[in-house]
Amino acid sequence: MSPEDPVEAHNRQAWNRLVDHKSCFTTAAEDSSFVDPLGTVDGLGWLGGSIAGQRVLCLAAGGGRHGPLYAAAGGEVTVLDISDGMLELDRQVAAQRRISLRVVQGSMSDLSMFRPQEFDLVIQPVSTCYVRDIAQVYRQIARVLRPAGLYVSQHKSPTSLQTSLNWNPNTTGDHVGTSGGYVLQHDYYSGQPVAPVPQRTHLREPGAQEFVHRWEQIIGGLCRAGFVIEDLIEPFHADLEAEPSSLAHRSAYIAPYMRIKARRVGEAKSVLVF
Protein backbone atom coordinates (compact mmCIF):
# COMPACT_ATOMS: atom_id res chain seq x y z
CA MET A 1 0.00 0.00 0.00
CA SER A 2 1.43 3.43 -0.92
CA PRO A 3 1.86 5.91 1.96
CA GLU A 4 -0.95 8.44 2.36
CA ASP A 5 -0.36 11.86 0.85
CA PRO A 6 0.30 14.30 3.75
CA VAL A 7 -2.43 16.72 2.62
CA GLU A 8 -4.96 13.88 2.40
CA ALA A 9 -3.94 12.59 5.84
CA HIS A 10 -4.26 16.10 7.26
CA ASN A 11 -7.71 16.64 5.75
CA ARG A 12 -8.97 13.19 6.76
CA GLN A 13 -8.10 14.01 10.38
CA ALA A 14 -9.55 17.53 10.07
CA TRP A 15 -12.88 16.19 8.77
CA ASN A 16 -12.97 13.48 11.42
CA ARG A 17 -12.53 16.19 14.06
CA LEU A 18 -15.37 18.22 12.50
CA VAL A 19 -17.61 15.15 12.82
CA ASP A 20 -16.52 14.62 16.44
CA HIS A 21 -17.39 18.26 17.20
CA LYS A 22 -20.74 17.98 15.37
CA SER A 23 -19.74 20.94 13.17
CA CYS A 24 -22.31 22.60 10.90
CA PHE A 25 -20.37 21.16 7.95
CA THR A 26 -21.33 17.64 8.97
CA THR A 27 -25.12 17.94 9.17
CA ALA A 28 -27.00 15.01 7.66
CA ALA A 29 -30.02 15.54 5.39
CA GLU A 30 -33.09 16.68 7.31
CA ASP A 31 -36.42 14.82 7.09
CA SER A 32 -38.11 17.43 4.88
CA SER A 33 -35.50 16.98 2.14
CA PHE A 34 -36.66 13.39 1.58
CA VAL A 35 -40.13 14.54 0.47
CA ASP A 36 -38.64 15.37 -2.94
CA PRO A 37 -35.05 14.09 -2.78
CA LEU A 38 -34.17 14.80 -6.39
CA GLY A 39 -35.64 18.30 -6.16
CA THR A 40 -33.51 18.89 -3.06
CA VAL A 41 -30.22 17.96 -4.72
CA ASP A 42 -31.06 19.13 -8.25
CA GLY A 43 -33.18 22.25 -7.95
CA LEU A 44 -31.84 23.37 -11.34
CA GLY A 45 -33.22 20.32 -13.16
CA TRP A 46 -29.82 19.48 -14.66
CA LEU A 47 -30.43 15.74 -14.20
CA GLY A 48 -33.46 15.59 -16.48
CA GLY A 49 -36.17 14.83 -13.91
CA SER A 50 -35.16 11.27 -12.97
CA ILE A 51 -32.06 9.34 -11.99
CA ALA A 52 -33.91 6.05 -11.41
CA GLY A 53 -31.55 3.13 -11.94
CA GLN A 54 -28.53 5.32 -12.67
CA ARG A 55 -25.19 4.33 -11.20
CA VAL A 56 -24.23 7.41 -9.18
CA LEU A 57 -20.85 8.21 -7.63
CA CYS A 58 -21.16 10.80 -4.84
CA LEU A 59 -17.53 11.89 -4.78
CA ALA A 60 -16.01 13.36 -1.63
CA ALA A 61 -19.60 13.56 -0.46
CA GLY A 62 -19.73 11.88 2.94
CA GLY A 63 -21.82 13.30 5.75
CA GLY A 64 -25.23 11.63 5.41
CA ARG A 65 -26.66 14.05 2.92
CA HIS A 66 -25.86 13.54 -0.77
CA GLY A 67 -25.60 9.75 -0.79
CA PRO A 68 -28.90 9.11 1.02
CA LEU A 69 -30.75 11.72 -1.06
CA TYR A 70 -29.49 10.43 -4.43
CA ALA A 71 -30.30 6.89 -3.30
CA ALA A 72 -33.79 7.94 -2.17
CA ALA A 73 -34.23 9.48 -5.63
CA GLY A 74 -33.67 6.06 -7.17
CA GLY A 75 -29.93 6.07 -7.89
CA GLU A 76 -27.63 3.11 -7.28
CA VAL A 77 -25.29 5.09 -5.09
CA THR A 78 -21.64 4.80 -4.12
CA VAL A 79 -20.29 7.42 -1.69
CA LEU A 80 -16.52 7.91 -1.68
CA ASP A 81 -14.92 10.03 1.00
CA ILE A 82 -11.58 10.26 2.76
CA SER A 83 -13.08 10.66 6.24
CA ASP A 84 -14.25 7.59 8.13
CA GLY A 85 -16.34 9.89 10.36
CA MET A 86 -18.20 11.39 7.40
CA LEU A 87 -18.83 7.93 5.93
CA GLU A 88 -20.14 6.69 9.27
CA LEU A 89 -22.83 9.40 9.03
CA ASP A 90 -23.88 7.95 5.66
CA ARG A 91 -24.05 4.47 7.16
CA GLN A 92 -26.21 5.74 10.02
CA VAL A 93 -28.65 7.66 7.79
CA ALA A 94 -28.89 4.75 5.35
CA ALA A 95 -29.65 2.34 8.21
CA GLN A 96 -32.24 4.65 9.81
CA ARG A 97 -34.05 5.17 6.50
CA ARG A 98 -33.50 1.64 5.15
CA ILE A 99 -31.70 3.06 2.15
CA SER A 100 -29.23 0.96 0.24
CA LEU A 101 -25.89 2.55 -0.63
CA ARG A 102 -22.23 1.58 -0.85
CA VAL A 103 -19.59 3.55 1.05
CA VAL A 104 -15.93 3.52 0.07
CA GLN A 105 -13.12 5.22 1.95
CA GLY A 106 -10.51 6.73 -0.33
CA SER A 107 -9.26 9.83 -2.06
CA MET A 108 -10.80 11.59 -5.04
CA SER A 109 -7.25 11.62 -6.45
CA ASP A 110 -7.21 7.84 -6.90
CA LEU A 111 -10.35 6.09 -8.11
CA SER A 112 -8.52 2.95 -9.22
CA MET A 113 -10.85 0.82 -7.05
CA PHE A 114 -13.60 1.46 -9.64
CA ARG A 115 -13.90 -0.05 -13.13
CA PRO A 116 -13.66 2.15 -16.24
CA GLN A 117 -17.09 3.63 -17.06
CA GLU A 118 -18.59 2.20 -13.85
CA PHE A 119 -20.86 5.24 -13.32
CA ASP A 120 -23.57 7.08 -15.27
CA LEU A 121 -23.39 10.18 -13.08
CA VAL A 122 -20.72 11.67 -10.82
CA ILE A 123 -21.69 14.41 -8.38
CA GLN A 124 -19.18 16.25 -6.23
CA PRO A 125 -20.05 18.80 -3.56
CA VAL A 126 -17.46 21.45 -2.67
CA SER A 127 -14.25 19.49 -2.09
CA THR A 128 -11.73 19.94 -4.92
CA CYS A 129 -10.18 22.68 -2.74
CA TYR A 130 -8.80 19.91 -0.49
CA VAL A 131 -6.36 18.61 -3.11
CA ARG A 132 -3.39 20.30 -4.70
CA ASP A 133 -3.89 18.80 -8.17
CA ILE A 134 -7.41 19.19 -9.57
CA ALA A 135 -6.36 17.85 -13.00
CA GLN A 136 -5.61 14.49 -11.40
CA VAL A 137 -9.14 14.40 -9.96
CA TYR A 138 -10.67 15.19 -13.36
CA ARG A 139 -8.65 12.42 -15.03
CA GLN A 140 -9.89 9.93 -12.45
CA ILE A 141 -13.51 10.98 -12.98
CA ALA A 142 -13.20 10.81 -16.77
CA ARG A 143 -12.05 7.20 -16.43
CA VAL A 144 -14.90 5.99 -14.23
CA LEU A 145 -17.72 7.92 -15.96
CA ARG A 146 -19.36 6.43 -19.05
CA PRO A 147 -19.26 8.42 -22.30
CA ALA A 148 -22.03 11.05 -22.33
CA GLY A 149 -22.33 10.71 -18.54
CA LEU A 150 -22.74 13.87 -16.45
CA TYR A 151 -20.31 15.26 -13.89
CA VAL A 152 -21.94 17.88 -11.65
CA SER A 153 -19.58 19.63 -9.26
CA GLN A 154 -19.53 22.60 -6.93
CA HIS A 155 -16.32 24.50 -6.11
CA LYS A 156 -15.17 27.37 -3.96
CA SER A 157 -14.41 30.31 -6.23
CA PRO A 158 -10.72 31.22 -6.45
CA THR A 159 -11.42 34.83 -5.43
CA SER A 160 -13.33 33.72 -2.37
CA LEU A 161 -10.45 31.56 -1.18
CA GLN A 162 -7.97 34.36 -1.85
CA THR A 163 -9.88 37.00 0.09
CA SER A 164 -10.19 37.95 3.76
CA LEU A 165 -13.23 36.62 5.60
CA ASN A 166 -13.70 39.86 7.49
CA TRP A 167 -14.83 43.26 6.34
CA ASN A 168 -11.99 45.75 6.73
CA PRO A 169 -13.41 49.23 7.52
CA ASN A 170 -10.07 50.93 6.83
CA THR A 171 -9.63 50.15 3.12
CA THR A 172 -10.84 52.41 0.34
CA GLY A 173 -14.50 51.76 -0.48
CA ASP A 174 -16.08 50.99 -3.83
CA HIS A 175 -17.55 54.49 -4.30
CA VAL A 176 -15.86 57.87 -4.01
CA GLY A 177 -15.81 58.94 -0.38
CA THR A 178 -16.67 55.53 1.08
CA SER A 179 -14.43 53.13 2.94
CA GLY A 180 -14.41 49.47 3.80
CA GLY A 181 -14.00 46.27 1.84
CA TYR A 182 -12.80 42.70 1.76
CA VAL A 183 -9.10 42.32 1.11
CA LEU A 184 -7.44 40.09 -1.44
CA GLN A 185 -4.75 38.31 0.59
CA HIS A 186 -3.59 35.11 -1.02
CA ASP A 187 -1.67 35.09 -4.28
CA TYR A 188 -3.06 33.31 -7.32
CA TYR A 189 -0.11 31.19 -8.37
CA SER A 190 1.60 29.90 -5.22
CA GLY A 191 0.04 26.43 -5.19
CA GLN A 192 0.41 26.53 -1.40
CA PRO A 193 -2.53 26.02 0.98
CA VAL A 194 -4.33 29.19 2.01
CA ALA A 195 -3.85 30.39 5.59
CA PRO A 196 -5.97 28.47 8.11
CA VAL A 197 -9.14 30.14 9.35
CA PRO A 198 -8.82 31.83 12.74
CA GLN A 199 -12.57 31.92 13.38
CA ARG A 200 -15.90 30.18 12.93
CA THR A 201 -17.26 30.79 9.43
CA HIS A 202 -19.53 29.05 6.95
CA LEU A 203 -17.03 29.62 4.15
CA ARG A 204 -14.00 27.68 5.36
CA GLU A 205 -13.62 24.48 7.38
CA PRO A 206 -11.42 24.93 10.47
CA GLY A 207 -8.34 22.73 10.45
CA ALA A 208 -8.57 21.73 6.78
CA GLN A 209 -5.88 22.55 4.22
CA GLU A 210 -7.34 24.21 1.13
CA PHE A 211 -5.88 25.21 -2.22
CA VAL A 212 -6.80 27.98 -4.65
CA HIS A 213 -7.27 26.52 -8.12
CA ARG A 214 -7.10 28.96 -10.98
CA TRP A 215 -9.95 29.31 -13.49
CA GLU A 216 -7.74 27.81 -16.18
CA GLN A 217 -7.35 24.73 -13.96
CA ILE A 218 -11.02 24.47 -12.93
CA ILE A 219 -12.62 25.13 -16.32
CA GLY A 220 -9.78 24.52 -18.77
CA GLY A 221 -8.82 21.40 -16.84
CA LEU A 222 -12.30 19.96 -17.29
CA CYS A 223 -12.12 20.52 -21.04
CA ARG A 224 -8.66 18.97 -21.24
CA ALA A 225 -9.90 15.91 -19.33
CA GLY A 226 -12.53 15.26 -22.01
CA PHE A 227 -15.60 17.12 -20.74
CA VAL A 228 -17.77 19.80 -22.31
CA ILE A 229 -19.36 22.35 -20.02
CA GLU A 230 -23.11 22.63 -20.51
CA ASP A 231 -23.88 25.12 -17.77
CA LEU A 232 -22.31 27.04 -14.89
CA ILE A 233 -24.04 28.94 -12.11
CA GLU A 234 -22.93 30.91 -9.07
CA PRO A 235 -25.42 30.05 -6.26
CA PHE A 236 -26.80 33.31 -4.88
CA HIS A 237 -26.16 34.14 -1.23
CA ALA A 238 -25.79 37.95 -1.42
CA ASP A 239 -27.39 40.55 0.84
CA LEU A 240 -25.68 43.92 1.01
CA GLU A 241 -27.83 44.88 4.00
CA ALA A 242 -26.57 41.94 6.07
CA GLU A 243 -24.03 42.28 8.89
CA PRO A 244 -20.53 43.04 7.51
CA SER A 245 -18.34 39.89 7.54
CA SER A 246 -21.40 37.61 7.39
CA LEU A 247 -21.71 35.07 4.57
CA ALA A 248 -24.51 37.09 2.97
CA HIS A 249 -22.68 40.42 3.12
CA ARG A 250 -19.40 39.05 1.83
CA SER A 251 -21.29 37.24 -0.94
CA ALA A 252 -22.55 40.61 -2.19
CA TYR A 253 -18.91 41.27 -3.14
CA ILE A 254 -17.62 37.79 -3.96
CA ALA A 255 -19.73 34.89 -5.21
CA PRO A 256 -18.43 32.12 -2.94
CA TYR A 257 -19.19 29.09 -5.12
CA MET A 258 -19.82 27.94 -8.65
CA ARG A 259 -21.63 24.83 -9.79
CA ILE A 260 -20.69 23.24 -13.10
CA LYS A 261 -22.60 20.84 -15.31
CA ALA A 262 -20.11 18.95 -17.49
CA ARG A 263 -20.59 16.03 -19.84
CA ARG A 264 -17.95 13.48 -20.68
CA VAL A 265 -17.47 13.44 -24.42
CA GLY A 266 -13.98 12.64 -25.50
CA GLU A 267 -10.72 11.13 -24.49
CA ALA A 268 -8.53 13.22 -22.20
CA LYS A 269 -6.06 15.45 -24.06
CA SER A 270 -2.54 15.14 -22.75
CA VAL A 271 -0.85 17.90 -24.75
CA LEU A 272 -1.21 20.78 -22.32
CA VAL A 273 0.20 20.62 -18.83
CA PHE A 274 -0.43 23.49 -16.41
Ligand X SMILES: C[S@@+](CC[C@H](N)C(=O)[O-])C[C@H]1O[C@@H](n2cnc3c(N)ncnc32)[C@H](O)[C@@H]1O
Compute CA distances 41 → 36, 92, 144, 168, 204, whole Å.
9, 20, 22, 35, 21
Our CB check for ligand X shows the closer of 181 and 205 to be 205
Is 108 one of the binding residues for ligand X (CB under 6 A)?
Answer: yes
Answer for the pair 146, 205: CB distance below 8 angstroms, yes or no. no
Count of residues near ligand X by CB under 6 A: 20
In the three-class reduction of DSSP (H, G, I as helix; E, B as strand; rest coil), residue 105 is classed as strand
Is 63 one of the binding residues for ligand X (CB under 6 A)?
Answer: yes
The count of other CB atoms within 10 Å of the CB of residue 114 is 17
Is 72 one of the binding residues for ligand X (CB under 6 A)?
Answer: no
Our CB check for ligand X shows the closer of 67 and 226 to be 67
H or E stretch at 264: strand 257-264
Compute CA distances 39 → 48, 236, 244, whole Å.
11, 17, 32
Our CB check for ligand X shows the closer of 181 and 208 to be 208
In the three-class reduction of DSSP (H, G, I as helix; E, B as strand; rest coil), residue 20 is classed as helix
Nearest approach, Cβ of 79 to ligand X (angstroms)? 9
Q: What is the DSSP code (8-state) at residue 163?
A: B
Is 131 one of the binding residues for ligand X (CB under 6 A)?
Answer: yes
In the three-class reduction of DSSP (H, G, I as helix; E, B as strand; rest coil), residue 24 is classed as helix
Is 107 one of the binding residues for ligand X (CB under 6 A)?
Answer: yes
Nearest approach, Cβ of 64 to ligand X (angstroms)? 7
Our CB check for ligand X shows the closer of 66 and 186 to be 66
Among residues 41, 56, 60, 161, which is the contact residue for ligand X, using CB under 6 A? 60
Nearest approach, Cβ of 266 to ligand X (angstroms)? 25
Answer for the pair 56, 77: CB distance below 8 angstroms, yes or no. yes
Is 160 one of the binding residues for ligand X (CB under 6 A)?
Answer: no
* Rounded Cα distance, 25 and 64, in Å: 11
Compute CA distances 175 → 49, 167, 178, 179, 204, whole Å.
45, 16, 6, 8, 29
Site for ligand X in 85-104 (CB under 6 A): 86
Nearest approach, Cβ of 149 to ligand X (angstroms)? 20
Is 213 one of the binding residues for ligand X (CB under 6 A)?
Answer: no
Is 71 one of the binding residues for ligand X (CB under 6 A)?
Answer: no
Is 251 one of the binding residues for ligand X (CB under 6 A)?
Answer: no
Q: What is the DSSP code (8-state) at residue 217?
A: I
Among residues 55, 65, 156, 186, which is the contact residue for ligand X, using CB under 6 A? 65
Q: Taking contact as CB under 6 A, which single stretch among the options 60-68, 96-104, 165-173, 231-239 is the one that binds ligand X?
A: 60-68
Residues near ligand X (CB under 6 A):
8, 11, 15, 60-63, 65, 81-83, 86, 107-109, 125-127, 130-131
